[in-house]
Chain A
Amino acid sequence: MNPTIYLEVVVQGVLTGLVYGLMALGLSVIFGVVRVVNFAHGEFTVAAMYAAFLLFTLFGVDPLIAMLPIALVFFCVGYGLQLTLVNRFVGRAEHEQFILLVGLAIILVNGSLLTFGADARPVRLSYGFDSFLVGPVIVDKVRLYAAAAALTVAAALFLFFRFTSTGTAIRACADNLVGAAVVGLNVRKLYALTFGLGLACVGAAGALMETIADAKPELGPVYTLIAFIIVIVGGLGSMTGALVGGVLIGISEALAGFVLTPSMKSMFSFALLILVLVLRPQGIMGRRT
């Protein structure tokens, strides 16, 4: 068989994987700092996809631009959510945090079912079927744009955590909570900021996802699981790990969907998750604590 086809499938997997990676980055950041597992992650992603769909159909805004206001709104939602609800659960039993967010996830799924119905809501971009020819390889235009945007957002987040004083303060909370509180950091507010940033990633990723997949309520749990698989494969709490994990899962899904049938592609992700949990629970890029 023609080897360039495989190369095309891998490239497609890498590009989709970068968008997955941005979504998972949000989960990783929230877990790494707040130590709360956001089980409603995929449901928030789907909500962002619907937001992008609405902005496109009502005002004709390209999701690549719509991702900025959506990320901003999601930041505020995350900030408020952490401050009002999640903060009370910090340090409480794991299953209680889990159940709180499972409840939120169920509300989000059914809320989108109520508002938008069960049908898929696609965005039909004018350049939706364009592609570039790089050497012998055909690359989808939308996928390339989405991946580039995802990388940009991820890079901005890296820079924020690395070089701003607020970013450093957040990292301090993640490294040593007591120490952070002792030197006078406002942990409550920094947690809210972190949750907000995590959801901003989700908002941006969801808007980008809408260009390569159609919004459907039942995608929520699927994306939650994908995000979990990615961060666990990459290492919970590791930012580069999330991106690397996203690309890995993107490639494995694209290849499995191509070689076998598309309906079997996530089986490999789940098998990979089980393997990583058993053999290397700290993930590929994670540190053992």
Chain B
Amino acid sequence: MIGLLNPRARVLMLVLLAALIAAPLVADRYLMSVLILIFYFAYVGQAWNLMMGFAGQLSLGHALYVGLGGYVSALLWLKFGIGPWLGAFAAVAVAAAFGAVIGWLGFRFGIEGVYFALLTIAFAEFTRIAFDHIDYAGAAGGLFLRVEEGEWWNLRGGTLLFYYLALALAVGALVLTAFLARTRLGYQWLAVREDEEAARALGINAFRAKMTAVLISSAMTAVGGVFTAFYNNNLFPSRVFDINRSIEIILAPVVGGLGTVFGPVVGAFILTPLGEALTALTGLFGINTPGVKGAFYGLALMVIIVLKPSGIWPWLARALRLTERRP
């Protein structure tokens, strides 16, 4: 399942990474913005994948952590002048606390599978409506961050800053996942995902394993929220906490390959450009249709889950002979 990369694939990855690091030299603003989106979805997809792909806990409410991360860091910055590098810690703490509550309720009371997914949706939607009515956080009118150039230490900067930040996040999440997958905890997750009762019988503390997955996942996702808040410079409850945001997060890992280290990355690199191309193409024909991209994403989900439920990466890795034979 995890499949170690062979030397040839490692060289290929390093070349790709070098190309992405050098890309700002040649890429224009639009291409950069698409790449930033790809990195972002690879990053949050990776965070979701840890919970669903590895630990087997289906969350459809990850927009909750994105929104909380964004709101906490933006409020700290706007109201107290505390910069996002520091604010990110608070954002992570708040999101992880919510994750802890959801995880505790879910796992202690035996809410499993679809029911657990509904629990996560309920929390996200509840928080969305709550934020619509919190005047301190701008209520439904949203929060706006002033656009200033130059202060990179406060994440106030141009595309280049966010490009490298997003790249660092995506690579960091990839490395972290690859590392976790090889730890004791990573193997416990797989055991719990495959058969929780058997895992318990082996002496694995399933509750703790699942809780750790939720905590790591929510904390990582909150950092993604900090990123989007300062990148987009605005926050609306109806946008950031929306269930469609949660669904967007699961697209890349599902299409790329659930429970694989490279799945979310591959998924993001396939879906985001295709979606952008589709928007551009329909624009070219003079039809300004907001539903095309969404319909395509929906179709992508259905086609993948019908034809290749394990995702594109395992198949791609085999076809290109990128992984070593299983040890």
Contact = CB atoms under 8 A, between A and B. Distances in A.
Interface stretch (A2-10, A44-52, A110-118, A247-255): A110-118
A160 interface: no
Interface stretch (A100-108, A143-151, A169-177, A187-195): A100-108
B123 interface: yes
Given A94-B114, A274-B105, A277-B115, A99 B297 contact: no
A266 B118 contact: no
A111 B301 contact: no
B129 A263 contact: yes
Given A263-B132, A266-B125, A278 B105 contact: yes
Nearest to B118: A228
Interface stretch (B74-82, B90-98, B285-293): B285-293
Interface residues of B, number: 45
Nearest to B290: A113
User: Which range holds the interface residue count of chain A?
Assistant: 35 or more
B100 interface: no
B178 interface: no
Contact of B309 (A96, A113, A232): A96
Given A107-B295, A107-B299, A95 B58 contact: yes
Contact of A100 (B113, B300, B302): B302
A217 B52 CA distance: 29
B219 to A, nearest CB: 22
B301 A99 contact: yes
A158 B302 CA distance: 33
Nearest to A267: B129
A217 B289 CA distance: 14
Interface string B51-63: 0100000101000
Contacts of B306: 85, 88, 100
A85 to B, nearest CB: 7
A258 interface: no
Contacts of B122: 229, 270, 273-274, 277
A113 B295 CA distance: 10
A273 B305 contact: no
A271 B127 CA distance: 10
A264 interface: yes
Contacts of B105: 274, 277-278
Interface string B124-167: 01100110110000001000000000000000000000000000
A221 B243 contact: yes
Given A98-B58, A106-B247, A273-B118, A113 B294 contact: yes
18 contacts: A94-B113, A95-B52, A99-B301, A100-B302, A103-B299, A103-B301, A104-B298, A107-B302, A110-B292, A110-B295, A110-B298, A111-B291, A232-B118, A261-B133, A264-B133, A267-B130, A271-B126, A274-B119
Given A99-B301, A104-B302, 18 more contacts: A95-B52, A95-B258, A96-B305, A98-B58, A102-B60, A107-B298, A110-B292, A112-B291, A113-B290, A217-B291, A225-B125, A263-B132, A264-B129, A271-B126, A274-B119, A274-B123, A277-B105, A278-B109
Interface of B: 52, 58, 60, 105, 109-111, 113-115, 117-119, 121-123, 125-126, 129-130, 132-133, 140, 243-244, 247, 250, 254, 258, 289-295, 297-302, 305-306, 309
Interface of A: 37, 85, 88, 92-96, 98-100, 102-114, 118, 217, 221, 225, 228-229, 232, 261, 263-264, 266-267, 270-271, 273-274, 277-278, 281
